Amino acid sequence: MTQTPTGGRRTRRTQTHTYEGSGEEIVTSRSSAAPRRQAVSRASTVRQPMGRSEELKEKQRAYQQAYRQPEQHERRFKQPVDTNAVYDDFDVYDRDARKVYSSMEKRKRRDPHRGLWMAVIFLCLLCIGAIGLFLAPQVMGVQFATMPNCAFVNGSIITMDQERYDNYRAYRSYMSSDVIYPGVYVDGVSVGGMTVEQAKSAIGQVNASGGGDFAITVNIGNKSWSIDSGKVPMTRNDDEVLSQAYALGRSNTTALRGTKVTPFQERLNAALNLRTAPVNLQTRLTYDKATIRQLTDSIAQFVNREPINASVATFDFNTRSFTFNSDSPGSYIDGDALYNQVIGMLEGGQRYATLVMEPEIILASVTKAELMNSFKLISSYTTETTSNSNRNTNVQLSAEAINGTTVLPGETFSFNRATGQRTAEKGYLPAAAIAGGQSVDEIGGGVCQTSSTLFNAVARANMQIVDRSPHAWPSNYVDKGLDATVNWPNLDFKFKNTSDWPIFIVSYYNKRKVTVEVYGMSLGDGVSIDLESEVTYTKKPPSEPNYVLNPELAPGEQKTTIKARTGYEVDTYKIWYQNGVEVKREKLFDSTYRMYQETIEYN
């Protein structure tokens, strides 16, 4: 083995290895740039090559002779295997050898029954083609003109009857047409063979002349109203009827269940029967019922009115006389009944008719005659005054202040609001009044007698007492429990008119007497109200006076400031009388009057 070393520059370096054996020599060269495969050359048969034996050679020759000549085998590969090559590696040799041997094994021997198999395959293909031709009419819809057309139906083989098939196609075309089948009439017009739109136009021409005009006259009392086609929109149900006409012969029934009649045959029979048994459909006019309802409601609204009760027009406080507004009866008709009668006439074909209705007369619950007999003096109460001129002046002024007052139903009367503050500018004078348990002079003293007289009058007129207070001690012009004190602005007397009618107050002073009269609707025939009081408790004052030192008095002077007064507790009752007989009694309120011990101031 020789080796050529590599210099300093990059040059191709070649290594050569020589193996000597029996009759062969292996020389290997390698460049420094890239490795190369070993080159195998023939050599002398002096030495055996590495990796090669005679046994392997014999195997190779045996395979070649058994399957193919070497020259024939080599033509099958681009790079034939060199059977005389020397291999230095058993793996390389075995790989190349296996390629040759495996390709040889893949080759099959000629089958002697190949022709028989080809014949069997041809017969099978022929049978499949025959079956395909047999099933083509049913599966693919192909029809043969020169051979029978067959099909499998319910496990049986049937053949097509061309005449019946032609009839079927004609019927199918007849049934699939988008027209109304012959034998159908609408409003006497034959619409068979027409489309729905054509039929609608045909019957529209027939009905265009009208035929739906109407006029219903409504007479109620001395008034008349007209409900006619000029006021009420109308529509004809052409679309609905034509839909029914088009559906004739196009629907199935449940009668074919359990029979051998097909749905198509049933529809065909229905369509063909129309030719011998025509069907005549009628359209119908439909009136706009909402408009008719509005018209009848407007008539009912005009006719229906509530009765008007008689009422008090005026009251003359000087003459104590009334004037009254007359009553007016009402009327009523049933709007629903009027509407139903008009609709019934139209749907019954009565296009020109007169409807007469009598309204129900509703009388007023209060007539003028009743008011004339019922409005009168309800109650009156009078109290006597003292001889004190100032006090009588105050009583007269307060009586004049409330005179001529009208209290409407539900309204509340206030004494302080009616008289206002009692001042000297209004003419009120100083007079005795109660303050701090003592009797003192003040402007407007004595007006409590007017308020107490008013209280007794309105309580007997059945007014509701809202606010009332007793005096500090009982008054001498009314019984205990029948007084009503006032004082601006904290103490007031109030009552409410709880009746359905207004009341009128007449109040006046004359000859040391003050009188209050209440006019209005009477309590009823023979009915009157009175007040009655009952003392339930009495408390006497101490017999010994209470002395109080007053340095402002002159020495030895005495002055009685508070008189001894007995205390009381009193219940007041309202009593109803019918023709002078008591029929009801109720407690109105209770009153408490304080006990006062006599008080004397001295110095």
CA atoms within 13 A on the CB side of 239: 2
Contacts of 422 by beta carbon, 8 Å cutoff, 6+ apart:
394, 397, 398, 428, 443, 444, 447, 488
Torsions phi, psi for 440 (to 5 deg) = -130, 160
Task: State how far the Cα of 3 lies from the Cα of 6, in Å rounded to an integer.
Answer: 9
Torsions phi, psi for 402 (to 5 deg) = -95, -10
Residue 188: exposure state from Cβ atoms within 10 A (0-12, 13-18, ≥19): exposed
* Per-residue pLDDT at 132: 77
**Dihedral (Cα; 43, 49, 53, 56), 10-degree rounding:** -70
Cα→Cα distances 12→5, 31, 35, 514, Å = 10, 5, 11, 161
What is the dihedral sign for C-alpha 166, 172, 178, 180?
positive
CA atoms within 13 A on the CB side of 174: 18
Most distant pair of Cα atoms in the chain: their distance: 191
* Residue 4 burial (CB count, 10 A): 12
Q: Are 497 and 390 in contact (CB under 8 A)?
A: no
Task: State how far the Cα of 432 lies from the Cα of 452, in Å rounded to an integer.
Answer: 16
- Of 571, 583, 568, which Cα lies nearest the Cα of 533? 571
Residue 425 φ/ψ region, left for φ over 0, alpha for ψ in the -120 to 50 degree band, beta for the rest:
alpha
* Per-residue pLDDT at 152: 66
What is the dihedral sign for C-alpha 151, 152, 154, 159?
positive
Torsions phi, psi for 376 (to 5 deg) = -165, -170
CA 507 to chain CA centroid, Å, is: 62
* Per-residue pLDDT at 94: 56
* Per-residue pLDDT at 319: 93
Per-10-residue mean pLDDT, the chain, length 603: 42 44 44 44 46 69 64 47 50 53 54 81 87 72 69 70 78 87 89 88 74 85 90 84 88 81 86 89 84 94 93 92 93 94 87 91 91 93 94 96 95 96 94 79 92 97 96 92 93 95 96 96 94 95 90 88 91 95 94 91 86
Cα→Cα distances 472→42, 198, 440, 469, 480, Å = 166, 105, 13, 9, 11
* Per-residue pLDDT at 318: 92
Question: SS3 for 312?
Answer: strand
* Per-residue pLDDT at 210: 56
Domain ranges of the chain: 7-45, 51-104, 126-150, 293-371, 376-602
Block residue for tokens 């990796």: 51
Q: Are 552 and 560 in contact (CB under 8 A)?
A: no
